[in-house]
């Protein structure tokens, strides 16, 4: 029997509708969730992502402002802007789109650390990542949280399951490992550059952040596994997942497609963090 297809589109629309209702209630109390997006330089794909994030914020009734700095922006300019936004009461969430241009790469950590943890809707600040480790209140990485929400939505029973995360980053692999662990899974985190096959073959749940198209095929998956593919690899102008959907769908119980799986959930989970931030900062 082919695997169930876990679509992110309907799920994202449900989250969006719930957030729209929540924003409506917040606005009645005088609070409009406000997001500031900082884009440095002229990378077309980054500009596109930033526009989609601002649009999604406005779609749920929030306020979004985009600060587009030139390719020649200095670190002092960026830090000055973050400082202003940290103090701006109408801004509840700040996001600096990564990567920064080449000459600013070395400052990415400094930039992420400068955002107030309470306004860090990407959840890249050490305070949010550290609190996740401790099990304390924090914002959750948007893609990691999207994976968990998708698993919860199909009523996965996490307790005692072996989850294998093929990943590495502070946005996906590391936070989702902690989130699965907190839910009672035994979790293996394996870097995509290692031989991950012995691990994926044993997994009840697989989360991928491989960064290579169709790197995981059906023969690397245990029959009945649930597979969440966060990959988006460009092949011949199309977005292709880390998992070879067709062969994986023959053995898995459920699997996310690419496109149309985790992708649609990512931006809406960012807006989810923004609404959380607005509630926390306003005390509502």
Per CB under 6 A, residues contacting ligand GUN are 95-98, 122, 171
User: Residue 209 in contact with residue 168, Cβ under 8 Å?
Assistant: yes
Q: Which is nearer to ligand GUN, 29 or 103 (CB)?
A: 103
Shortest separation between residue 17's beta carbon and ligand GUN, angstroms: 23
Q: Verify whether residue 120 is a known catalytic residue.
A: no
Active site residue: 97, 119, 149, 204, which one? 97
Q: What's the min distance (Å) between Cβ of 50 and ligand GUN?
A: 9
Percent helix, strand, coil in the chain, to 5, is: 45, 15, 35
C-beta of 111 vs 243, nearer to ligand GUN: 111
- Residue 194 annotated among the catalytic residues of the structure: no
CA 198 to chain centre: 27
Q: Report in angstroms how near the CB of residue 168 gets to ligand GUN at its nearest.
A: 14
Contacts of 138 (CB under 8 A, 6+ apart): 123, 127, 128, 129, 131, 132
Considering the complex, what minimum distance in angstroms separates the CB of residue 95 from ligand GUN?
A: 5
CB of 171 or CB of 209, closer to ligand GUN: 171
Q: Which CB atom, from 60 or from 267, has the smaller least distance to ligand GUN?
A: 267
Q: Which two tokens stand for residue 173?
A: 């692999």
State which residue, 141 or 213, has the beta carbon closest to ligand GUN.
Answer: 141
Query: CA angle, corner 243, sides to 241 and 248, nearest 5?
Result: 135
The answer to whether residue 161 is catalytic is: no
Tokens of 123: 């959840």
CB 254 within 8 A of CB 6: yes
Q: Please identify which of the residues 119, 120, 122, 204 carries the catalytic annotation.
A: 122
Helix/strand/coil (H/E/C) assignment for every residue in 196-256: CHHHHCCCCEEEECCCCCCCECHHHCCCCCEEEECCCEEECCEEECCECHHHHHCCCCEEC
Rounded to the nearest whole angstrom, what is the least distance from the CB of residue 53 to ligand GUN in the complex? 9
- Minimum distance, C-beta of residue 49 to ligand GUN, in the bound complex (Å): 6
Q: Which tokens in the block code for residue 277?
A: 């931030």
Closer to ligand GUN by Cβ: residue 98 or 197: 98
**Under 8 Å between Cβ of 269 and 145:** yes
Nearest residue to ligand GUN by CB is 98
Give yes or no for a contact between 240 and 231, defined as CB atoms under 8 angstroms apart.
yes
Q: Which residues are catalytic?
A: 53, 97, 122
């Amino acid at each position: 029997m082919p695997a169930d297809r876990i679509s992110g589109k309907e799920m994202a629309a449900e989250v969006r509708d719930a957030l729209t209702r929540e924003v409506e209630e917040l606005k009645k109390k005088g609070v409009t969730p406000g997001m500031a997006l900082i884009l440095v330089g002229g990378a077309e794909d980054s500009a596109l992502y930033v526009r989609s994030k601002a649009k999604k914020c406005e779609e749920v009734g929030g306020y979004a402002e985009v600060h587009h700095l030139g390719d020649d922006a200095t670190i002092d300019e960026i830090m000055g802007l973050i400082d202003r936004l940290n103090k701006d009461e109408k801004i509840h969430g700040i996001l600096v789109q990564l990567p920064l241009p080449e000459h600013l790469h070395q400052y990415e950590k400094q930039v992420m650390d400068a955002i107030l943890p309470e306004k860090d809707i990407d959840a890249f600040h050490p305070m949010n990542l550290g609190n996740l480790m401790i099990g304390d209140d924090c914002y959750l990485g948007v893609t990691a949280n999207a994976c968990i929400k998708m698993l919860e939505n199909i009523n996965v029973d996490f307790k005692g399951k072996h989850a294998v995360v093929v990943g590495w980053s502070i946005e996906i692999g590391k936070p989702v490992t902690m989130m699965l662990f907190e839910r009672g899974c035994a979790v293996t985190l394996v870097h995509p550059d290692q031989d991950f096959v012995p691990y994926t073959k044993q997994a009840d749940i697989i989360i991928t952040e491989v960064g290579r198209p169709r790197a995981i095929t059906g023969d690397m998956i245990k029959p009945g596994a649930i597979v969440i593919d966060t990959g988006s690899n460009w092949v011949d102008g199309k977005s292709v997942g880390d998992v070879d959907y067709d062969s994986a769908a023959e053995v898995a119980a459920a699997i996310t497609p690419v496109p149309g799986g985790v992708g649609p959930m990512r931006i809406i989970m960012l807006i989810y963090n923004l609404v959380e931030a607005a509630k926390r900062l306003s005390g509502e």
